[in-house]
Structure 1
Amino acid sequence: MSRQGAESTLQIKKSGFKKCMEAREFTLAVLLLAIIVLLSVTTRDFANPANVRVLLLGMTSDLIIAVPMGISLIAGNIDFSVGSTMGLASVLGGMIINATGNAVAGIVAALLIGAVLGIINAVMICHLHVTPLVATLGTWMAYKGLQKVIAANAIANFPQDFFALGRTEFNFFGVSVPISIIYMLAVFAVGIFVLKKVNFFHNAYFIGSNKDSARLAGINITKFTYVSYMITGILAAFAGMVLVSRLGTASQTIGSGLEFRIVVALLVGGLSMDGGEGSMIGIGMGVLLMQIISNALVLTGINPNYSEVIIGAILVLSVGIDQINKRRRAKAHA
């Protein structure tokens, strides 16, 4: 190889390494590794298989919902109603199961309700031209209010076949794995595939970067908004029913605070409130970080209420970093 060719190859390698080092996912991976090592060394139970099981179970609902919600956010559409959608749909699904004695009917009804609640968000955004932030904050309050009214008393006494949805366990090489974790991994794998390989969902990047250009390119933004919010509603309802099946009761507290935790996880994972950037791997690491923080507070005996303080601080820091990066990119292109 000539000297010029060797220098060119070295330059390409340096450029690739620099991009890797600058990637939010790389930074987050290093941070996660450092936190995991620190907790493993300083706490007796963090690396315990029983605690790992608890940690993974704790993040199942968040990641199942974060996958479609993340795709929406990449397209520039935030959804603050996911927690109350999860709660309202699961409470209504639980009531239907109690009334009919049919677990399948209740589960299907909950999924349909979740779809409708998601579509309501899309209607307000696409046809009433309400911004996604305002629209979903409004439905968050409305759905949560309905959930509290309907579930004034906890709903329980479900038929035994309903518990298979959330309590089934599979044995892999001597390790018992809850079905909730399998649901989470399956949704995450599908999310990785569709965001990269399916044009309809990959268009989220074009929509989030520039809606006008995406529209001129022939992308149906209205259709994308309807589909993405509907899928988010369906998966929020599904996560809610799985949780109800695990706990054996549907109450007015299901889904409370989940929306803010997921938004923080998405921003930490490299997504932007303005859309146009992010990856499914980053989403997964962001959700994992939030769960590790929550788990660490319990293991170290710190008041769990501090988790809200920490999540709020991380949210402000993430948005601040995002805005600084945007200004730097704007100056670089100027």
Structure 2
Amino acid sequence: MSNENGIISLIRLSLKKNIKQYTMFIALIGLMIIFTILTGGTFIMPRNLSNLFIQTSYIAILACGVVLVIVAGHIDLSIGSVVGFLGAIAATLQVNLHYGTLVTILITLFVGLLIGLWQGYWVAYRNVPAFIVTLAGMMIFKGALLGVTNGATIAPLDDSFKALGQGYIPNIGSLNIGSLSINMTTVIIGIIAIIIYNALELKKRGERKRYDFETLPKNLQMVKMIVVSLAIAIFFGIMASYKGVPYSIVFVLIVGILYTFITKNTTFGRHVYAIGGNKEASRLSGINIKQRNLLIFASMGILSALGAIIFTARLNAASASAGAGLELEVIASAIIGGTSTMGGEGTIVGAIIGALVMATLNNGMSLMNVGPTWQYIVKGLILLLAVWVDISTKKKN
């Protein structure tokens, strides 16, 4: 009986701990079903879903970085201007200076790191609130963007650079089933992803049992693994029935896995959550808060550069208006995905789900010919609802 109570308590704890991510995942599925019905099936077509995932990619990458910023109790209002500026740097290197793709990427990432260190320095070592620092950064880099572009569009970019935002992993062969052509490279990647996921789950379960931690019953563990494996199979199945896996999605997967590991399995990640949960207690426990804050904004700078590269490659151009309002989409994605506005709480997976929710709303309403007026209103209301749920949950706890 006590064993059953322990299992029930474990399940309840898991649900309570991840309730926001589960809720948003269910909401995402619900939105997809609604838009599929309202668009007569157009939304669920592989071509549209592939474009949807590509549209999500740079938002998801930026949201991964902003999770750390918000969890630590800060905010970054400069994301849109920084992405626009870094995209203009990349386009200038490609079009005007004729630099190769690899050199362009490395220089853009380095400039992004410098921007992150610059803003982090003012927050960490000069005690200027992040709100003010990044608000100033929004204006500074918006001006820098206008200076680099001279108000004109810089295009076109090299095909190899453009592929980062528009291209797909090469196909080794196709399997034709009636009129449907299946991308075998994507099928193989999907199978590998399922194998890796299940191997990691079994490894994690074995480690928990070895240290006498509570684990899910075998039946529930099996159900969980089957459901997640099925979700992975559906995702790669959709990709395989169109052109395959876009390079931009590969970047999202790499960033998502890396930052999930950082937040869950490193000292730095634990310190970030500790700082956001209780800054004074973190200071008394010996955490170097200044250094951690500097690294958080340096991380945001690098991901801003990566997001800018994919964003610019997708558009095949840089313009004076690039990145306008992007910070709102990114911050909303993180918050909708469960990152608490009060700090100390948030996940990378949740932020990626939040980015998918935002992209689904944009894509679905566009297919329905809903004007920008109502699109902004709907997204604003959803953000307001997400913050209200967060605050209400905190008060109950």
TM-score, with length taken from structure 2: 0.76
Paired residue total: 323
Paired with 1:223 and 1:62, the residues of 2 have a C-alpha distance of 27
Q: Give, in angstroms, the shift of residue 51 of structure 1.
A: 0.8
- Name the SS for the 1:176 alignment partner: coil
Q: Choose the corresponding residue for 1:302, options 359, 367, 370.
A: 370
The unaligned stretches of length 5 or more in structure 2 are 172-185, 188-239
Aligned to 1:272: 340
Once the two structures are TM-superposed, the CA of residue 261 in structure 1 deviates from its matched residue by: 1.0
Structure 1 distance, partners of 2:167, 2:20, is 36
Alignment-derived partner of residue 328 in structure 1: 396
Pick aligned residue for 1:38 from 34, 37, 41: 34
Residue 177 of structure 1: SS of its match in structure 2? coil
Partner of 1:69: 66
Q: Which residue of 1 aligns with 2:157?
A: 158
Match of 1:123 in 2: 121
Larger mean Cα displacement after TM superposition, 243-252 or 188-197: 243-252
Describe the shift of the 1:160–1:317 C-alpha distance in structure 2 as closer, same or farther (beyond 3 A): closer
Q: Report the more deviating stretch, 92-101 or 185-194.
A: 92-101
Between 285-294 and 15-24, the greater mean CA deviation after superposition: 15-24
Corresponding residue number in structure 2 for 1:27: 23
Higher normalized contact order (CA 8 Å, seq sep 6+, divided by chain length): 2
Q: Which blocks of at least 5 consecutive residues in structure 1 are unaligned?
A: 1-5, 330-334
Q: Tell me how far apart the structure 1 counterparts of residues 339 and 99 of structure 2 sit (CA, whole Å).
A: 40
2:250 to 182, 190, 203: 182
Of 90, 99, 102 in structure 1, the residue corresponding to residue 99 of structure 2 is 102
Match of 1:244 in 2: 312
Check 1:302–1:163 CA distance in 2 against 1; reply closer, same or farther (3 A cut): closer
The AA in structure 2 aligned to 1:169 is Y
Do 2:124 and 2:291's aligned partners in 1 also have CA atoms closer than 8 Å?
no
Counterpart CA distance in 2 for 1:120 and 1:254 is 22
Against the structure 1 CA distance between its residues 159 and 283, is the aligned structure 2 distance closer, same or farther, given a 3 Å change threshold?
closer
Give 3-state SS (helix, strand or coil) of 2:244's partner.
strand
Aligned letter for 1:79? D
Deviations for 1:242-280, whole angstroms, at most 9, x for unmatched residues? 222232211122222111111111111111122111122
Counterpart of 1:133 (choices 127, 131, 134) is 131
What do the CA deviations read for 1:101-122 (whole angstroms, capped 9, x no partner)?
A: 1123332222122112112211
Q: Secondary structure at the match of 2:132?
A: helix
The letter for the 1-side match of 2:25 is: A
Q: Is the alpha carbon distance of 1:308 and 1:141 closer, same or farther for their aligned partners in structure 2, counting shifts above 3 Å?
A: farther
1:9-28 superposed matches below 5 A? 9-22=3-16, 23-28=19-24
Cα distance, 1:91 vs. partner?
0.4
Q: Is the 1:297–1:304 Cα contact (8 Å) retained in structure 2?
A: no
SS at match of 2:42: coil
Report what 2:168 is aligned to.
Answer: 169
Q: TM-score, normalised by structure 1?
A: 0.90
Shift of residue 294 of structure 1? 0.8
Per-residue Cα deviation, 1:163-182 (whole angstroms, up to 9, x for no partner): 34334321323542221111
How far apart in 2 are the matches of 1:30 and 1:16?
21
The aligned counterpart of 1:60 is: 57
Q: Is the 8 A contact 1:21 1:27 kept in 2?
A: no
Preserved contact between residue 97 and residue 158 of structure 1 (Cα < 8 Å): yes
